[in-house]
Structure 1
Amino acid sequence: MRGKHTGMWPNRREALWLTAASVLFGGLDLLVHGMSPPTTGWTGPHAALLLQLSVDVSLLFLARFPVQVASWALAVAVLMLVSEEFAPGLFTPVQPAAHTALPFATPAITTNLVRLTDRRRAFLLIGLLAVLGTRPWHPSWDITPLGVVNTVLPALAALYLHARRELLNSLRERAERAERE
């Protein structure tokens, strides 16, 4: 597994980035919650906000536990989807301000899954999130494109940037070797 380190974060830049992402997504969740009606189930009026914020806070642990954070986001997505399909108002508002089946922090999670874990595990979790986010059983112009943008596109961008960085490093190494010879 890539990304093994002993502290909570591998470096100060990573800690700053994850903290900023957590605050940014938390602010987005507060904004959307303020524009949405409250949840009406036995879970209370702020159930949707608490679920979203729990994923935002979990971003702080993303560098150390990427699979667990992604699994938590997946569990929250399942709760949101089950609520929306079978018990409207329980974990999501009946008329939400934003139609999404995924936590807003999903792009940060999928990007880091590709970067920090082995490809098989990353693709499995991203695939599950993509299926929940796109809802192929109920295709909709409101939800399906947003599901792809939140899951597949960040993962592809991370893969591209990783491949590009490896290519540049190998070209630099070749040039240095040729110069030495």
Structure 2
Amino acid sequence: MSGYIKTLQQAYENLHQDGLQLKISTDWHLQPFFLQAVAERVQQALARFPEDVRDQVPVLLTAHSMPKRVIENEPDYIDHLKETAAAIAKRAGLADDRWMFCYQSAGHTPEEWLKPDFADVMPELKEAGKQHVLIAPVQFLADHLEILYDIEVGAREQAEEHGIQFARIESLNTSPLFIKALAAVVKDTLAQ
């Protein structure tokens, strides 16, 4: 999101420090090690389902919802998240009809937030006869509030209210493959 970059650049300029350089890593949403790290988490989580249902479990690839007005100003941001989700699904071997991109953690303000939220998807899954669901955040890289509460508690409750067995992928946290991705992003940024 360009607002963060602009704020950081302005703070850097305000420092007036000779010899201090600023390099910002920008678009790395398709970094191969990152995509593989998340895809492996999806595969590991699916492997924990009983063998007789494993191949039918729908996978919800989620990102943080935002007010619609924010995205109207930066449509590339959501396009990148959707590209990330599609690339992860492909690497994880998910058929197109088995996964979907949706949002989570919408704010509690009167303005319109991006949809569908995973809460909106649970009744649709139940209506389609689904009894299991796997949630895989593609935007969140480590355990924090939106993972440990919004998903682990909130999404689980919403799934169970509809009779759906819930699971989520393990967060990347300190995954060696994810660390390798971060190192590659830093090296690429420094080489520019």
Q: Whose relative contact order is higher, 1 or 2, with alpha carbons under 8 Å and at least 6 apart? A: 2
Pick the structure with more helix per residue. 1
Q: Same fold (TM over 0.5)?
A: no
Pick the structure with more strand per residue. 2
